[in-house]
Structure 1
């Protein structure tokens, strides 16, 4: 369908929620119409396959500005921005890191934390996400402005 899945998460106790975060492969954006299209397609597959034994709510959304980083390519794509990374296994005695992403080097995430460069093995990342900063908000707004400009004709 032209979308990348960012994350799939089943959560909740008595009332389960299946959350699917997706984005357009072409430009990384996601609007309400995109969410509806993905939701319809996924609901049809889930109705046939029936992989979840109990009742649940399906929620399809954009990853948002302070999005989770789930693929090694995400760390490259968002190099220069601040992120929080939590490791499954300690690296140099720590599990939690916050700093500016420098990208990826092989199978490692490289970032600057407390003015020192740190390389973290991608396979040991428990969870990671961008930190909402003024810089990230400004970059997101610029990307939206570019997308809006591409969709308009000279007469608009």
Structure 2
């Protein structure tokens, strides 16, 4: 049974008993729902994510959007949605209700959890092959698994992603190839534009006193 327990807090909706989260403008949050199925869900359980992805992806795609990722952490099931057009709170709220209906009907996760539908934000986590393909041409930050030769952290422009291998153009080392299965963590990097420098003050014109003849 899906119980809708939500209240608006600082631009997002939080389930009852949850600590309100501050609103972050680059990442838009919408309704959170709490499900009660009479049990507890392990916070580190990820085994149900693939079936859930298959369940809700058609719903997201039918709405004209793209299901970027789903995450389960600490009793929260986060659904990340992308779109060619900007997604506002109203659109995400409608999507969250639609996804909640599907999850309530199929009940793929036992226990109590919170559903949160949002956008991935300006810095996206990368951990699927299609994530890396979609990030080609962008600046990415890669951290490799312990034991890999060379630097563990590489930041540069992702130039290709195929055959399980990433190629990154690093300003210091040139082209660097990294096997995807040796990546511990990866994300896109958003670069803010330079802060405009304060304009110089106009020099004051000196006027000499005195009478003109």
TM-score norm. by structure 2 comes to 0.52
Contact 1:86/1:128, CA 8 A, preserved across alignment: yes
The worse-fitting range, judged by mean Cα deviation, of 87-96 and 3-12 is 87-96
Question: Distance between the aligned counterparts of 1:73 and 1:52, measured in 2?
Answer: 26
Question: Is 2:100 aligned against 1:38?
Answer: no
Question: Which residue in 2 is equivalent to 1:87?
Answer: 144
Query: Tell me, what secondary structure is at the counterpart of 1:134?
Result: coil
Aligned-CA RMSD value = 2.5
2:65 corresponds to 1:7 = no
| More deviation, 30-39/88-97 | 88-97
Higher mean displacement: 54-63 or 87-96: 87-96
Query: Could you say which structure has the larger radius of gyration?
Result: 2
Q: TM-score of the superposition, structure 1-length normalised?
A: 0.68
Show the counterpart of 1:132. Answer: 190
> Any stretches of 5+ residues in structure 1 without a counterpart?
136-156
Measured after TM superposition, the shift of residue 29 of structure 1 is: 4.3
- In structure 2, what is the equivalent of residue 149 of structure 1? none
**Residue 18 of structure 1 aligns with which residue?**
77
Q: Deviations over 1:32-85 (max 9, x none)?
A: 233223212221121122233222111111111111224434434433332112
Structure with the bigger percentage of helix = 1
Corresponding residue for 2:135?
78
| Distance in 1 (alpha carbons) for counterparts of 2:104 and 2:96 | 12
TM-aligned CA distance change 1:47 to 1:128, over 3 Å: same
- More strand by proportion, 1 or 2? 1
Alignment of 1:117 with 2:175, yes or no, is yes
| Residues 79 and 102 in structure 1, CA contact (< 8 A), matched pair in contact too | yes
Match of 2:122, SS state, is coil
CA change 1:56–1:88 in 2 (3 A) is same
Give the count of matched residue pairs.
Answer: 130
Q: Which runs of 5+ in 2 are unaligned?
A: 1-61, 194-213
Structure 2 CA distance for aligned equivalents of residues 67 and 126 of structure 1: 15
